[in-house]
Copies of this chain bind each other. A is one copy, B any other.
Amino acid sequence: MRASAVVKNLKDKGFRITPIRKQIIEILSEDRGPLTSLDILTIIHKTGKKVNESTHDHAIGVSSCIRFARCNKTTVYRQIAFLLEQEILEEINLGEGKNRYDLVENKAHHHHLTCNNCGVIKDLPLEDNDFLQSIEKNTNFRIQKHSLELFGLCLGCQK
Binding site for B on A (CB under 8 A): 91, 93, 95, 99, 113, 115-116, 122, 124, 126, 131-132, 135, 139-155, 158
- The residue from B141, B142, B148 contacting A122, defined by CB atoms under 8 A apart: B141
Given known A-B contacts A95-B93, A113-B139, A122-B139, A144 and B149 have beta carbons under 8 A apart:
no
Interface contact B155-A150, CB-CB below 8 Å = no
Chief secondary structure at chain A's binding surface: strand
Extra contacts, 10 of them, besides A124-B139, A141-B153, A142-B158 (Cβ < 8 A), are A116-B144, A116-B145, A122-B139, A124-B135, A140-B154, A140-B155, A141-B152, A143-B152, A146-B149, A146-B150
Residues of B within 8 A of A113 (CB): 135, 139, 141, 143
